[in-house]
Each structure stands twice: as structure tokens, then as C-alpha cells.
Amino acid sequence: QEQLVESGGGSVRTGGSLRLTCAASGISYSNYCMGWFRQAPGKEREGVASINTGGALTYYADSVKGRFTISRDNARELLYLQLNNLKPEDSAVYYCAALFWTWGSDCKIETPASYDYWGLGTQVTVSS
């Protein structure tokens, strides 16, 4: 059964750091573009970062560039998101998502509807 499970969320103060982890199972992980999304109450789900199948190409939303880092470990089927210099506006439920790679895709952040599998999310709360 295909499954993505996020962990690592928590509550921090402004300027703090967290590392989120997403564990994949039941999919051919190395064949998937992976992404992190977030959704705050009353807002739409937004793409935060994505990474290509090999891990060499990464993409970020402007709001997190220079503060967040996405990475993956294909051998362990894990996806990471390092969150540094956190701000209150970063507070949201963070989700990982998997999109099966097809020829010609560069694994840039796509619309949420494009992704094949989703985790249940992990809460990040940043207080001032």
C-alpha cells in the first residue's frame, strides 16, 4: 500500500529551526518527483519546495528561498525539509507529496491536483 508519513513538526519561536521528514513506502520512490506543501487555516494549499528524482535539482517558493532546504535519500526512501529562520507566517500543516516522473518533467512545483500521493501532514507552529 502506497504511503507517505511526515514527522518532525512542532512549535518554535521566530528564528528557530525544524527538520521535517517524510517516509515513503509502497511506491518506487526513486521514480517520483517529491514536493513539500503547506496549508494554513483558511488558505489554499501552497507548494513550498520540490526536488527531482535524483536529488540534484531543487525548486522553492519565493517566500522560503534561502531559509528552507529540500533533500532526499533514495536508498532510505526519505524526503527532508530543513526549515531555518522560521517566521510566524510559516505556521501551517506541512505535507509531502509524490508525483510520478514522466519523460521531460523537471519536477518543478506543480499544482496540488497533479500529485499522485499525499501524506497526512505535520503541524508547524511559529510564535513571535
pLDDT of residue 109: 96
Question: Which residues lie closer than 8 Å to 114 by C-beta, 6 or more apart?
Answer: 99
Rounded Cα gap, residues 79 and 6, in angstroms: 9
Contact predicate 34/79, CB 8 Å: yes
Residue of 117, 120, 104, 118 whose CA lies nearest to 52: 104
pLDDT of residue 49: 98
pLDDT of residue 59: 98
Residue of 31, 36, 46, 41 whose CA lies nearest to 8: 36
DSSP 52-100: -TTS--EEE-TTTTTTEEEEEETTTTEEEEEE-S--GGG-EEEEEEEEE
Average pLDDT, the chain: 97
pLDDT of residue 101: 96
Rounded Cα gap, residues 32 and 15, in angstroms: 32
Per-residue pLDDT reduced to its tens digit, 87-104: 999 999 999 999 999 998
Rounded Cα gap, residues 40 and 92, in angstroms: 4
Per-residue pLDDT reduced to its tens digit, 42-97: 999 999 999 999 999 999 999 999 999 999 999 999 999 999 999 999 999 999 99
pLDDT of residue 115: 98
